[in-house]
Structure 1
Amino acid sequence: MREIIFDTETTGFDPASGDRMVEIGCIELINRVPSGRTFHAYYNPQRDMPSAAEAVHGLSITFLKDKPLFEHGAQELLDFLEDSMLVAHNARFDFGFLNHELKRCSRAEISLDRMIDTVAMARTLHPGAKHSLDALCTRYGIDRSHRVKHGALLDAELLAQLYIELRGGRQIGLSLAQEEADKAYRVEPAQDAAVRPVRPARVFMASAEELERHAVFVATLDKPLWLDGSHPG
């Protein structure tokens, strides 16, 4: 099973009002395990960068102005995504910008049937709790100390760890860890250890005197259960 965890950075909140996607980062999971394959790209938005947005992700127009337009890198991105399910945090936001960019360059939009939203998953698992990426990383013990500003690939890497946890990955990890621990503590015989002779099993039988003493003791018992016909077997 192939899934893609992805995150985007943008100039704002609303593509319909002219905001553009400026960065995308993707992580490939195979059977809920990172394969090591990633996709990362910056795009020239052909517009200014609001100071509020730059404060979040640190991407300036000076940095982005020599980056390719989305339309020139769209096919490379689509080749990486293939037809896999796409996982994002607050996924409608990221899908909205991705599909807006695809529509701008006359590409087919990605169906929302391929969308998996980790915010929706977290709300089901932890109703009433905080569901930001930072809050959920803290809840699941995911190290985010290196996350000074938002970055699409970095956030996708954190989200991949979170998604695996939301799917029950920690239990799987614990069982694997226990197997490794069992291997580590398993004592194997030394190659040069002496071979001990196999001894026949010892047979223990009561002596005639012991059997007689047992019979005398049983005779003193008052209505033993094994002599009660109403008691099973």
Structure 2
Amino acid sequence: MTREIVLDTETTGFKPEEGDRVVEIGALELINHMPTGQTFHVYLNPDRDMPAEAERVHGLTEAFLADKPRFEDEAERMLAFFGDAPLVIHNAAFDMAFLNAELSRAGYPPLAMDRAIDTVQMARRKYPGAPASLDALCRRFGIENAHRTLHGALLDSELLAEVYLELIGGREPGLHLAGEGDGSGSDEDRSARPLIRTDRPYREPRPHSETEAERAAHAAFIATLKNPIWTRDEHG
């Protein structure tokens, strides 16, 4: 069984080292690359103002967040949901930096960067030069995201789970023969694909010898041809 966590965060800005904080965390569980319905979602009080630029992105206001729990109140529950599973993140360096800054502030050890599976890097390897934003990948794979008028951590995690599934090979990622494909994707991407065995029922061989009538019809057809190859000897 392969367990993975797809996650996203919303923040007050871009730089945790300058005091920007996490204000929303959304995550969902995958088992063997398929969603189980188990999710983690929380809004957080950042104990600071909400810059207008950030509010325009996710729509979360200071007033809305004022009565929400703080990160340290939810850290243990979040870490329990994550367990030791790999973390599937779009632009992993950004979210991991924010989560680790919050964990450090709350007195917890950081998440190891090698746990992160970065879907931006996966997309850039698979489609060099193409846009790799979540919206662009939803368009590429025909994933409906018209309801995404604002960024939201849980909604974006749900969309990212569908994008991730497509990046590793689609809804039946194990149906690839060894050595098959165009070589796109890394060894790490390919190794994530489960092997699927298909048991096929035994069928008796069908009769395949021609009948007398079929031989006669073939001979009649050959007779209409000029110097057919079927009547030549080995010297032509």
User: If the TM-score is normalised by the length of the shorter chain, which range does it land in?
Assistant: 0.7 to 0.9
> Shift of residue 122 of structure 1?
0.3
- In the other structure, the counterpart of 1:30 is 31
1:42 and 1:205 map into 2 onto residues whose CA distance is 80
RMSD: 2.6
> Shift of residue 161 of structure 1?
0.2
Distance 1:205 1:56, change over 3 A: closer
1:172 and 1:126 map into 2 onto residues whose CA distance is 18
- In the other structure, the counterpart of 1:95 is 96
Please list every run of 5 or more consecutive structure 1 residues that lacks an aligned counterpart in the other structure: 176-203, 207-223
Secondary structure in structure 2 of the residue aligned to 1:48: coil
Please list every run of 5 or more consecutive structure 2 residues that lacks an aligned counterpart in the other structure: 177-210, 214-230
User: Which runs of structure 2 are paired with 1:1-233 in the superposition (5 Å)?
Assistant: 1-170=2-171, 172=173
> Shift of residue 172 of structure 1?
4.6
The Cα offsets for residues 97-116 of structure 1, whole Å up to 9 and x where unpaired, read as 00000000110100001011
- In the other structure, the counterpart of 1:218 is none
- In the other structure, the counterpart of 2:205 is none
Q: Which amino acid aligns with 2:154?
A: L
2:84 and 2:39 map into 1 onto residues whose CA distance is 16
Q: Which amino acid aligns with 1:47?
A: R
1:142 and 1:174 map into 2 onto residues whose CA distance is 21
2:42 and 2:175 map into 1 onto residues whose CA distance is 35
Which is richer in helix?
Answer: 1
Q: Decide which structure has the larger Cα Rg and report it.
A: 1
> Shift of residue 35 of structure 1?
0.6
Q: Which amino acid aligns with 2:89?
A: A
Q: Which amino acid aligns with 2:59?
A: G
1:112 and 1:54 map into 2 onto residues whose CA distance is 28
Pairs aligned (count):
188
> Shift of residue 174 of structure 1?
9.7
Instruction: Report % sequence identity.
Output: 58
2:175 and 2:37 map into 1 onto residues whose CA distance is 22
1:205 and 1:12 map into 2 onto residues whose CA distance is 83
Secondary structure in structure 2 of the residue aligned to 1:142: coil
2:77 and 2:21 map into 1 onto residues whose CA distance is 18
> Shift of residue 169 of structure 1?
1.5
2:144 and 2:16 map into 1 onto residues whose CA distance is 32
- Between 1:164-173 and 1:18-27, the stretch displaced more is 164-173
Distance 1:129 1:69, change over 3 A: same
Distance 1:146 1:173, change over 3 A: farther
> Shift of residue 151 of structure 1?
0.2
The Cα offsets for residues 48-97 of structure 1, whole Å up to 9 and x where unpaired, read as 00000000000000000100010011000001000000011001000000
Secondary structure in structure 1 of the residue aligned to 2:54: helix
> Shift of residue 125 of structure 1?
0.5
2:108 and 2:43 map into 1 onto residues whose CA distance is 19
